[in-house]
Amino acid sequence: MASTAGIKTRICMISDTHTTSPYSSSEKDHAYRNPLPEADILLHSGDLTKVGYRTEHEETISMLKAAPAELKLVIAGNHDITLDEEYFLRTGYKKHRKTAYFGAKNIPLHEDEKTRLESARAAGIRYLDEGIHTFTLSSGAKFTVYASPYQPEFCNWAFAYDRNEDRFNVPAPGSTAPIPANPVPDFPSIDIMITHGPPAGVLDRVGDDRKRSEHVGCESLMRAAERARPRLYLFGHIHEGWGAVRGTYDGTKAPEEDSKESGSASCVGVKVKQEKIPVDEKDMLEKRGVYLDVSSEGQRPLAFGDETLFVNASIVDVYYRPVNAPWVVDLDLPRG
């Protein structure tokens, strides 16, 4: 639907499915059930599989093919180990017990699985490597995505970087720090960010007790998000963090203690005020997802440049049970 602010576009978001398929349509006590909510775009922010076996990829691709969306954008996560060639050949292969996984023709695994994903283009599936990607929908909406499967090193899994490394921001002039291969561009270059890991202080808390829990998101990603100020920022990785917040940038320096309990994310002089999006569980179960309209036709449109909708769409919980719901957002995207 067109509007003066752009083209209203429906986006369904999931992450961390770990080869779990939606429940059957008859199991109405689960929001994650068939069919997935209909949308213009489906986004999946990684951990497609449990440990990257070929059969796991095949099951996930079948699930994505069945999803009712024109365009389906997918990134890898730390569990999708065969999609990280360097990691898999160095150490990741040890997580696989079956050497027969390499296949009769001994095709390199990362290329094999990427080819499987890319061969599903007829179903609208696009596998995104780290970097900037632009797409145009049949509605005429044209939008730009920054994608990255990487997150701070975690228990020797794939797509990892040292927490002190900044792979998302260009160093200040005169700095001797290395220049990232795929930095996040400044506002207003991108409309959507998709990373596997969360930015620091936003839906990134691990642990079931707030007094003993901690934030584990990436400071560099938070800096990059503040510079880019996308309309939508999707991630997963931290299963406990499922949910969404409306983030407002005010550009002021946040006190150190603000990032702990006050509902703000503090990072390098930037303060992002967070407003948690409420969830109506009855409505969620009935509609198979949490619906939110922040388009110009909604009650409270998103202010592009001043606000970002942050979503942690992890489907499984810490016990790898698919108990969480997809998020479904109506958002204005630019006209092509």
pLDDT tens readout for residues 245-280: 999 997 644 333 333 333 445 444 457 999 999 999
Quick one: average pLDDT of 297-325?
97
Q: Note if the pTM is more than 0.95.
A: no
Residue 57 CA to residue 92 CA, distance in Å, equals 16
Provide the mean pLDDT of the chain: 88
Q: Higher model confidence: residue 4 or residue 140? A: 140
Residue 82 CA to residue 209 CA, distance in Å, equals 34
- Burial letters 234-245, b for 16+ CB under 10 A, else e: bbbbbbbbbbbb
Instruction: Say if CB 4 and CB 332 are below 8 A apart.
Output: no
Quick one: average pLDDT of 24-46?
97
According to DSSP, the β-strands at 125-127 and 214-215 are unpaired
Q: Higher model confidence: residue 270 or residue 126? A: 126
Residue 289 CA to residue 244 CA, distance in Å, equals 13
Residue 201 CA to residue 204 CA, distance in Å, equals 6
Enumerate the domain spans of the chain.
2-333
CA distances, 177 to each of 170, 171, 219 (Å): 9, 6, 16
Other C-beta atoms closer than 10 Å to the C-beta of 16 total 28
Structure tokens at 263: 């509902």
Structure tokens at 134: 């632009």
pLDDT tens string 81-92: 999 999 998 998
pLDDT higher than 90, residue 65: yes
* pLDDT at res. 94: 86
- CATH architecture assignment, domain 2-333: 4-Layer Sandwich (3.60)
Structure tokens at 15: 């992450």
Structure tokens at 129: 């490597």
* pLDDT at res. 122: 86
CA distances, 90 to each of 79, 81, 141 (Å): 15, 11, 42
User: Percent of the chain scored above 90 by pLDDT?
Assistant: 74
Structure tokens at 10: 């429906």
Residue 295 CA to residue 16 CA, distance in Å, equals 26
Task: Choose the weakest-confidence range: 27-31, 120-124, 176-180, 212-216.
Answer: 212-216
Instruction: Give phi and psi for 88, each to the nearest 5.
Output: -65, -45
* pLDDT at res. 73: 98
Q: Burial of 154 by CB count in 10 Å (0-12 exposed, 13-18 middle, 19+ buried)?
A: middle
Q: 33 CB contacts (<8 Å, ≥6 apart)? A: 22, 23, 24, 25, 27, 288
pLDDT tens string 190-238: 999 999 999 999 999 987 655 567 889 999 999 999 999 999 999 999 9
Residue 304 CA to residue 191 CA, distance in Å, equals 9
Instruction: Say if CB 277 and CB 287 are below 8 A apart.
Output: no
